[in-house]
Amino acid sequence: MTDKNQDKRDDKLVAGASNQADTPAPETPAAEQASSPEPAQEKQPSSGKGLATVAIVLAVVLTGGLYWHGHQQGVAQAGQLASLEARLAQQQSTIDSLKSEQGATLGKLESAQNSVTEQVEGLSRKVLDLDSKRPNDWMLAEAEYLVRMAGRKLWLEHDAVSAAMMLANADERLAALNDPTLVPIRKALADDIASIKSVKKVDREGLVIKLNSINDQVDKLKLAGVIMARAEEPDLALSESVSDWKDNLKKSWASFTDDFVTVRRRDGNVEALLSPQQHWYLSENLKGKLLQGQLAVYREQQEIFDSSLAQSKQWLQDYFADDSVRQFMLEQIEQLEGQQISVDYPEQFAAQEHLQQLLDDRLQRLLTGL
């Protein structure tokens, strides 16, 4: 379209030039015709043709440049479009592959879930059938549990009374089964109960209460003061024998000087008084020893119990005044000395091993039946 317009413009320029050449020039005076040169009229047609040619060339060059630029952009856009289409095709292929793999995985999972569900239902039916055949097996498990709990009560908490009651409850469970094959286990339970009841009873609560009452009296104790050795009075009586004149002279001199200077000799060890800080430490240490004795009662530590009582008694005798408070504490400690707090418990229950073996056998038969 650009070339056609340019050709039309060129045609118009040529037509205009020809019309201008054919149109007669106006008449001019003779003087002006004589003065205007003739060559000027010949140069006008050649100048118009040059401009038209330049315009045509510029139009052709511009049109070609625009065409080339548009062609390059079209090629680039076509390449980008092809690349995008290739990427979209690859992504669609990947999505289709993932969908197919996901569908296959879901199918496998559903199949495995159905299989597991069927197996669980089958096992449940078998277990229900076995439970209906052996409805009393849970009582054996309960009896075994009671025996184990009795062992914990006895060996960890040293509670023989609770342990004996749990063993008796386990025997009641076995008696309710009315199974002759359980007679050996019930006999073992009876022996275990008898061994627990034969254990020496220790009044731990009473011992701890007595030690606590002794501990409460510590703050009432008074420190012992300095005890001076008693000075011996000199014998100033004069002898009637003449042979004792020297002794009589000394006694007379001592009696004469007694009114001026008195010298008395005291023999014996004198203990220094304790400072208030040392007194506080001593009282706290004494309380600690008595508390140590209480813990030893609960833990059945005979040596620690005896040692704490002996040390407390020694400190009371060495550092505190002899009054009613100290006398009461010493009497209470002497009553506690020699008390046996350690007890020999049976190492294990004979019935526990038999019950465990019986339960294992029945469980094995149950699993075999499944």
Q: Are residue 11 and residue 98 in the same domain, yes or no?
A: yes
Q: 127, 152, 178: which is the final residue of a domain?
A: 127
| Under 8 Å between Cβ of 309 and 336 | yes
Query: Alpha-carbon distance 326 to 172, whole Å?
Result: 54
Q: Are residue 56 and residue 176 in the same domain, yes or no?
A: no
**pLDDT at residue 226, rounded to an integer:** 46
Structural domain of residue 280, as residue ranges?
A: 202-229+271-343
Nearest to 211 by CA among 332, 325, 36, 83: 332
Query: Alpha-carbon distance 30 to 38, whole Å?
Result: 14
Segment 272-292 mean pLDDT: 82
**pLDDT at residue 149, rounded to an integer:** 93
Count H helices and E strands in the chain, helices first.
12, 0
Percent of the chain past pLDDT 90, that is, above it, reads 20
Q: What are phi and psi of 366, to 5 degrees?
A: -65, -45
Q: Are residue 145 and residue 173 in the same domain, yes or no?
A: yes
In a domain, 27, yes or no: no
In a domain, 259, yes or no: no
**pLDDT at residue 81, rounded to an integer:** 85
Nearest to 266 by CA among 236, 232, 225: 232
> Taking each helix axis from N to C terminus, what angle separates 39-133 and 2-22, rounded to the nearest 10 degrees?
170
In a domain, 155, yes or no: yes
Residue that wins the pLDDT comparison between 262 and 157:
157
| Under 8 Å between Cβ of 209 and 336 | no
Query: Alpha-carbon distance 353 to 144, whole Å?
Result: 9
Question: Would the pLDDT of 27 be above 70?
Answer: no
Q: Are residue 107 and residue 221 in the same domain, yes or no?
A: no
Q: Are residue 222 and residue 178 in the same domain, yes or no?
A: no
Q: Are residue 211 and residue 334 in the same domain, yes or no?
A: yes
Q: Are residue 52 and residue 107 in the same domain, yes or no?
A: yes
pLDDT band at 231; cut points 50, 70, 90: very low
In a domain, 12, yes or no: yes
**pLDDT at residue 20, rounded to an integer:** 40
Nearest to 134 by CA among 284, 359, 310, 320: 359
In a domain, 308, yes or no: yes
**pLDDT at residue 330, rounded to an integer:** 93
Q: Are residue 214 and residue 319 in the same domain, yes or no?
A: yes
User: Taking the complete model, does pTM exceed 0.75, yes or no?
Assistant: no
Q: Are residue 297 and residue 314 in the same domain, yes or no?
A: yes
**pLDDT at residue 9, rounded to an integer:** 52
Q: Are residue 162 and residue 67 in the same domain, yes or no?
A: no
In a domain, 97, yes or no: yes
Query: Alpha-carbon distance 350 to 369, whole Å?
Result: 30
Q: Which helix (H) or strand (E) holds 49?
A: helix 39-133
**pLDDT at residue 16, rounded to an integer:** 45
Query: Alpha-carbon distance 356 to 360, whole Å?
Result: 6
- Give how many domains the chain has, as a whole number: 3
The predicted-structure confidence for 174-193, as pLDDT tens digits, reads as follows 998 888 888 999 999 999 99
Q: Are residue 213 and residue 336 in the same domain, yes or no?
A: yes
In a domain, 181, yes or no: yes
| Under 8 Å between Cβ of 270 and 226 | yes
Taking the alpha carbons at both ends of the chain, their separation in whole angstroms is: 96
Residue type, 109: L
In a domain, 300, yes or no: yes
Q: Are residue 89 and residue 191 in the same domain, yes or no?
A: no
